[in-house]
Amino acid sequence: MTLTTTTHLNFHGEAREALAFYAAAFGGDSTVTTYGDLGMPAGLPDSDKVVFGAAFSPVGFRVMAYDVPGRSEPRAVAATHRENGTTVTDSPFFVAFGGDSLGEVTGPWTALSEGATVIEPLAASAWSPGFGMLTDRFGVTWTVSVAPAS
C-alpha cells in the first residue's frame, strides 16, 4: 500500500486566485469546482466560491484548497519573523518544497516572492546549499530547501 499526503489550504474567497498563482509559480495547472457547480443556486453568497480545487505541475508539485463556506473576511495572518538569528512563528504549519539544485528551486521561489514577505532570503545555510522562507501574499508561509550533496 502507498499513501500520499497533499497540503490542503483553507481560504476565505481567495482559493481560485491562490490556486492559479501556485500553478503558475510551479509551471502547472489548476482546477476548481465551485459550490454552484455542485448544485448551489446561483446568486447565493457562496455559489461562486471554490469547494474543491487543486494546483499541480509535472515536476510533482500538488496543493489543494477551498473557500470556507460562509466566511468572506480574510483570515488573520500568522506572524513569522527572524529574531536573534532564529525563525519565530505562531503559524500552525508551513508548506515546504525542495529540489536537488539551487537552479531547480529558484523559479518557484521567485514567483512565490511576488507580493510576499521574505523571512529568510534563498541562500546557502549551515544545512543546505539553499534555504529560504517567505509568507506569500495569501498569508501562506513557504520554506524551500536544496538537498545537500551526498
Helices 102-113, 15-25: axis angle to 10 degrees equals 150
Sheet with 7-11, strands from edge to edge, namely: 7-11, 62-67, 50-56, 29-34
Give the start-to-end residue ranges of the domains of the chain. 7-67, 80-146
Mean predicted confidence (pLDDT) in 19-48: 94
Cell representation of residue 35: 459550490
The 3-state DSSP composition of the chain as helix, strand, coil percent (nearest 5) reads 15, 35, 45
Global pTM value: 0.85
- Residue pLDDT, tens place only, 55-83: 999 999 999 999 998 866 666 666 777 77
**Biggest alpha carbon distance in the chain?**
57
Q: How many helices (H) and strands (E) does the chain have?
A: 2, 10
CATH 3.40.50.720 fits 80-146, yes or no: no
- Residue pLDDT, tens place only, 82-126: 777 777 777 768 899 999 999 999 999 999 999 999 999 999 988
